[in-house]
Amino acid sequence: MTELLPNHLGGRWTAGTGAGMPLFDPVLGDELVRVDATGLDLPGGFAFARQQGGAALRTMSYAQRAALLGAVGKVLQAHRDAYYAIATANSGTVKNDSGVDIDGAIYTLGTYAKLGAALGERRFLLDGESASLAKDAAFQSQHVQVPTRGLALFINAFNFPAWGLWEKAAPALLAGVPVVVKPATATAWLTQRMVKDVVDAGVLPAGALSIVCGSSAGLLDALQPFDVLSFTGSADTAATLRRHAAVAERSVRVNIEADSINAALLLEGEAPGSAAFELLVKEVVREMTVKSGQKCTAIRRVFVPQALYGQVAEAVSARLARTTVGNPRNESVRMGALVSRAQLAAVREGLEFLKAQAEVLHDGATHALVDADPAVACCVGPTLLGAHDADGAHRVHATEVFGPVATLVPYRDAAHALALVRRGEGSLVASLYGSDDAQLATAALELADSHGRVHVINPAAAAVHSGHGNVMPQSLHGGPGRAGGGEELGGLRALNFYHRRAAIQAAPGVLSALG
C-alpha cells in the first residue's frame, strides 16, 4: 500500500485510522499516496489552535507576524523543486502551470510580508478617525479592528493546492489568526507537503498551522462563533455550508468563492488584426490552456462584434491548433491533464451540454495526445464553441465547464454586449480589449457592480498587464452573485475578514492611551 499522509492537528502529526483515499497521477494512472481523516479529534485540535496558536500569534505585532510570513516563504523556496515534482505527478501540470500555483504562492507570501512590515509594532488597527459624541469633544468614538479570537478554517479547491492555501493563510496569519486547512482530496499531497515543511522547520508557533486531509466530515461541527470559514468550490457545496448550524446559528463568518462564468469583451471599433484584436485572441487562448482551463478566473465566454465573429473564431482556432496536449514530462507538451477521471467526465458532460446550443469552432478531439494513453490519461484538447444566438443560448451564460472550453458569442452593439456579460449573474473577472481609453473606462465602470475585478487591456498595457486570470495579491479576488459574494486579497483589505470591528467610546485621554 502507498504512503498514508499524516494530518497535523493539536500540535502533532496524526494518521487517520481508516484505509485512506488514494491520490492518482492523472496522466499515468499510478496511485501516489493516500489521505485519511478518520478518527481525528477535531474539537480538541481546533481548541488547541485557538488557545495555543491564536494566543501566541496575538502576542506579536503585525511586523513580527510579517517576519513569520517571510520565514515561511524561505522554507517553501528551499523545497521548490520537490513541489514541482509533486505538481507534475498529482496535478498533471506542465512546468509553467505548476509555477502559477507554486511561485504564485511564494510571491503572495512575500507581498504580505512586506505589507505587514509596514504596519509596524502595532497590535490593532485604527478604523477611520475618531468622532465626537459630545459638544465639547470630551467624549468620542474611535473604531478599531482587533484579531478575532477564533481560527480560520479553509476548505479549498483542487486546482490550486499551493496558492489556494497561502493566498488565504498569509493574511490570516498576518492578522494573528491560526489556520486549519482542508485541501481538496484529489490534489492534497502538495498542500500537505508544504504544511509539513513549514511545521517541521519550526518557523510558526505551535497550533498556528494545521491540516486535515481526506473527508471533511465534522469540520464545521467543530467551529465556534468567533471562527471564520473560507470556502472555494462549487455553488452547491457553498449552499450546503451556508445552511450549516455553524453559519446559520453560531454566526461563523463565511467567505465563499463559487462558480464564475467569466467574460472577455472586445469593444466596438476594432479591425481584424488590430492590436486590441490580437490581444484578445492571445489572452483567450492562454486562459483556455493554462492549467488546462482549470482556473476559477479562466475565460468562459468571449464577446465580439457580430462582424468580427468569423475572424476571431479563425484566429483563436489557429492558435489552439498549435497547442500540444499530453504528458507534462515531455518538453514538447504545452497543456497537461485534468486532475482526475471525475473531472474529465465532468468536462466531457458539460461540453455536450453546451453543444446543444452552440457550434464547434475548434474541436479538442483533434488533438492527439503526446506520450499519454487516451484510455488512462485525464487529458482533453481545448475546444472553442460558438453561439450565434447570443440571447437564446442560455446554457452558455449559466454553465461553467471547468476545463479548456470557451464559447464565442457575437453582440449587436455596446448595450447588447454589456447586457450579455451580465447574464453571468456575477463573476470573478471580466476583461476588456480596445484602443479607446474613454470607451474602455466607461465599460469598466458599467461592469464593476457585477465583477470582483475588471481587467482592462489596451495597446499601452500590452506588454505589462498581469493577465486576465492571474490573481495578484494587491487586487481584490472574489465576486458577487453566482461567484459567491466573497472577497479575498486586495492588499491589506484581506485583513478585514480576520478582524472584528468595535467602537471604543471614551474620553480623549483614554483613546490616546490606546496607542
Which structural domains are found in the chain, ordered by start? 4-258+488-513 (3.40.605.10), 262-473 (3.40.309.10)
* H-state helical runs in 218-290: 235-243, 245-248, 275-289
Q: How far apart are CA 312 and CA 328, in angstroms?
A: 29
Question: 268 is written with which cell numbers?
Answer: 466596438
Tell me if residue 130 falls in helix, strand or coil: coil
- Who contacts 337 (Cβ-Cβ below 8 Å, separation ≥6)? 26, 27, 91, 92, 93, 292, 328, 372, 377, 378, 379
Catalytic residues: 257, 296
Backbone angles phi, psi at 282, to 5 degrees: -60, -45
pLDDT at 117: 98
Query: How would you class 37 by CB atoms within 10 Å of its CB: exposed for 0-12, middle for 13-18, buried for 19 or more?
Result: buried
Q: How far apart are CA 233 and CA 256, in angstroms?
A: 8
Q: What is the pLDDT of residues 329-375, one digit of tens each?
A: 999 999 999 999 999 999 999 999 999 999 999 999 999 999 999 99
Q: How far apart are CA 15 and CA 17, in angstroms?
A: 6
Q: How far apart are CA 143 and CA 109, in angstroms?
A: 28
pLDDT at 320: 98
pLDDT at 515: 84
pLDDT at 216: 87
Q: What is the pLDDT of residues 78-99, one digit of tens each?
A: 999 999 999 999 999 999 999 9
Q: How far apart are CA 32 and CA 367, in angstroms?
A: 27
Q: Amino acid identity of 330? A: N
Burial 337-371, CB ≥16 within 10 A → b, else e: bbbbeebbeebeebbeebeebbeebbebeebebbe
Contact 152, 145 (CB under 8 A): no
Closest by CA to 96, choosing from 259, 243, 292, 273, is 292
Contact 442, 432 (CB under 8 A): no
Q: How far apart are CA 26 and CA 91, in angstroms?
A: 7
pLDDT along the chain (515 residues), means of 10: 94 95 97 96 98 98 98 98 98 97 98 98 96 95 98 97 98 98 98 98 98 94 98 94 97 97 97 97 98 98 98 98 98 97 97 98 97 97 97 97 98 98 98 98 98 98 97 97 97 98 97 92
DSSP designation for 360? E
Q: How many other C-beta atoms are found inside a 10 Å radius of the C-beta of residue 55? A: 14
Q: How many other C-beta atoms are found inside a 10 Å radius of the C-beta of residue 248? A: 12
Question: 471 is written with which cell numbers?
Answer: 490573481
Contact 60, 176 (CB under 8 A): yes
